[in-house]
Structure 1
Amino acid sequence: MENINILLETASSYCQKGDFKQGIHLYSQYITKNNQNPVAFYQRGKAYFKIKDYQAAQSDLSKAIKLKPDSAELYAERGLIYYMAKKQDAAMSDFNIAVEMEPENPFRYASRAFIKDHLNDLQGAKNDYQKALELDPEDAISHNNLGLVLGKMGNHKIAEKHYKDAEKLDPKNFGMKKSSDEKADVTPQPKPEPAPLPTIKSNQKEQAKSNFGNTVKALLTSSEERKEFWDFVKGKVFGS
């Protein structure tokens, strides 16, 4: 087990360096030895996503979901892949599932709002950003993005209030944006930071099983993972 875990770590290392094809090759080797690890499918799916093989990415995320059906994060990230593949209905279906699974998580509404905005569903985006702010009134990103949506809808006075709220909450990122022309939507970010990934010891099978579950959960809810994935989407799909 330790040897194949090293294989998984090496695959991840290649992907972090931008060598996605080699990473995919190593993930595939790992999966032939252990096809019950949702993290392996999730990570390989992300690598396929990076090289724009959306069909393979969708397949891997679907396999990860089958192994871990209680993960809202997997549904949300598959939704992003569907969106990139121009499967808008499938994308929104997955985002809806993620919201239903975590109705008290403001990040779920902000994520769906971000996509709705880019689908020109301004009313839907407005509603979701408002819900996100109801759950987390101190989310500067949602204030900023709601302001942009309201501006597009012609509600400039209320939009300015949200811009000012964003500036007060996060002056470093939003304090210098004085004009509407300089403003841009920002990819949603989750809060708070997850706990560090646990160490798995091969000679403690029961503890390893428990730790592995925690590892999967931590990886799939890692703010660093989410930020990297969302930033890539915004850069490649939305041209920012």
Structure 2
Amino acid sequence: MILNEIERFEAELRESPDDFRKQYDLALCYLQHERNSQALELLDRMLDNGRRDAQAYYARAVAYLSMNNYRKAGCDFLRTIALDPDFLEAYKHLGFIQLTLGREEAALKTLKNALEKDPAHSGLYCVLGDVYLDIGEPDKAKDAFEKAFELAPEDAEPHCKLAMYYVSKGDMKGLKREYDILRDLDAVMAEQIGTLFFQPL
């Protein structure tokens, strides 16, 4: 099934090798199936032609991120934002990279700028909470995670973040509550939490 999808996009591109949209569709297909090196090679070729396209820079940044090349990913997320200042997922990923590289103040600025554009983006609050945890402000972290939950109660990510917060505070009651919720929303994460904290050795 995976090969059929990839082969279909590759065949379409062979028919029109200079078609930017078909190049982009194939690159996304590679990314979706974790063929990051192939995606990166294609996206490099697309962008080396001088094309300034926010979606292509974003896709290449995701490829770099998947390969743990945080600095190059960060540069491409910045290019994405420069071309499309309302591309909120780029802000979210850039904030994560800045946090990962130990640039907490830059991450706070990035995420707060994005939230000024869209205060209802739950994913931004999830990363913001991570930053607050990292700089030793657990109360602000909890507020951010709870805001993410309020905005997207059916998403697993806010519950995963709240579970992490409760672990950091040693609050097993709160952790158990999130564990029970995650059993329906994210069985893999729930199993990891259960194995570590709630199942007998």
Aligned to 2:52, what secondary structure does the other structure show?
coil
Aligned partner of 2:114 in structure 1 is: 98
Supply the distance in 2 between the matched residues of 1:15 and 1:137 (Cα, whole angstroms): 28
Supply the distance in 2 between the matched residues of 1:84 and 1:96 (Cα, whole angstroms): 17
Q: Tell whether 2:68 aligns with 1:52.
A: yes
Alignment of 1:62-211 (within 5 A): 62-118=78-134, 120-137=136-153, 141-143=157-159, 145-157=161-173, 159=174, 163-164=176-177, 167=180, 171=184, 173=187, 174=190, 181-182=197-198
The 1:167/1:141 distance shift into structure 2, 3 A limit, reads farther
> After alignment, is 22-31 or 142-151 more displaced?
142-151
| Amino acid in structure 1 at the alignment position of 2:86 | D
Deviation at 1:42, TM superposition (A): 0.7
The 1:19/1:180 distance shift into structure 2, 3 A limit, reads closer
> After alignment, is 49-58 or 8-17 more displaced?
8-17
- How many aligned residue pairs are there? 180
Alignment partner of 2:26 out of 4, 10, 35:
10
In terms of fraction of residues, the more helix-rich structure is 2
* Structure 2 portions without partners, runs of 5+: 1-15
Supply the distance in 2 between the matched residues of 1:95 and 1:47 (Cα, whole angstroms): 21
Deviation at 1:176, TM superposition (A): 9.9
Percent identity over the alignment is 23
Residue by residue over 1:50-74, the C-alpha shift from the partner in whole angstroms, topping out at 9 and shown as x without a partner, is: 3333332222111111110012211
The TM-score normalised by the length of structure 2 is 0.69
Supply the distance in 1 between the matched residues of 2:66 and 2:138 (Cα, whole angstroms): 28
The 1:149/1:55 distance shift into structure 2, 3 A limit, reads closer
The TM-score normalised by the length of structure 1 is 0.59
Question: RMSD of the TM alignment (CA)?
Answer: 3.4
Aligned partner of 1:31 in structure 2 is: 47
Supply the distance in 2 between the matched residues of 1:32 and 1:75 (Cα, whole angstroms): 24
* Structure 1 portions without partners, runs of 5+: 184-240
Aligned to 1:36, what secondary structure does the other structure show?
coil
> Higher relative contact order at CA 8 Å, sep ≥6: structure 1 or structure 2?
1
